Chains A and B, each alone.
Chain A
Amino acid sequence: KQEVTQIPAALSVPEGENLVLNCSFTDSAIYNLQWFRQDPGKGLTSLLLIQSSQREQTSGRLNASLDKSSGRSTLYIAASQPGDSATYLCAVRDAGNMLTFGGGTRLMVKP
């Protein structure tokens, strides 16, 4: 059974810092990995999607990497802003198109 863990569970940083969020998964037989952002009480917004054959994806200040063999992904946020405050979730997709989520990292960026 796939298990996904996100570390840290919560993070508070001053504005402008670069930061790294970590995601690990136990079964490397994944189809792809997706990072999401969730604002309080809202749905999930897709940030980045990495196929199992890819190593990284970039979008603006966000960069996500994937090391499938070691079961790890990181989300790098450059020059953090208060508007980045949210919960960040990673999810791995299996061949059956089912997503398994981590518990999320709650990020607070202080002005």
Chain B
Amino acid sequence: ETGVTQSPTHLIKTRGQQVTLRCSSQSGHNTVSWYQQALGQGPQFIFQYYREEENGRGNFPPRFSGLQFPNYSSELNVNALELDDSALYLCASSSRTGWEGAFFGQGTRLTVV
């Protein structure tokens, strides 16, 4: 158990809808990163939040957005869902430097139909 929790575990949405995924970071960690993992592939970096501000972003369009709250928990929002957004979304908790490594939650499986 990593102490990183994500909700919900599974979600089915219709193309064009919006979705919000949530993540609670491990105690003592102030940095949260989000990754998208398509079936059969390695995770791809979406963005990272540190002290409530976006602190790095991968090659994802602006309809992927996020928030971090004062307790370091985080949300990932995706607008105008597309079929290709179907994936496992992973949240990782770490210190600012990542010296101790990243600790992942169990993921949210999003299916867009």
Chain A interface (Cβ within 8 Å of chain B)? Answer: 4, 6, 31-32, 34, 36, 41-46, 49, 51, 89, 91, 93, 96-104
Count A/B pairs, Cβ under 8 Å: 78
Q: Top 3 closest A-B pairs, CB basis? A: A101-B42, A44-B104, A43-B106
Q: A41-B88, A43-B107, A97-B97 are in contact. Are A34 and B42 (CB under 8 A)?
A: no
- List residues of chain B with CB within 8 A of the CB of A89: 42-43
B92, A99: Cβ atoms closer than 8 Å? yes
5 contacts between A and B (CB under 8 A): A43-B106, A46-B103, A91-B43, A97-B55, A98-B58
Interface SS of chain A: helix, strand, loop or mixed?
Answer: strand
Q: Are A97 and B48 in contact (CB under 8 A)?
A: yes
Given contacts A32-B98, A46-B103, A49-B101, A41 and B109 within 8 Å (CB-CB): yes
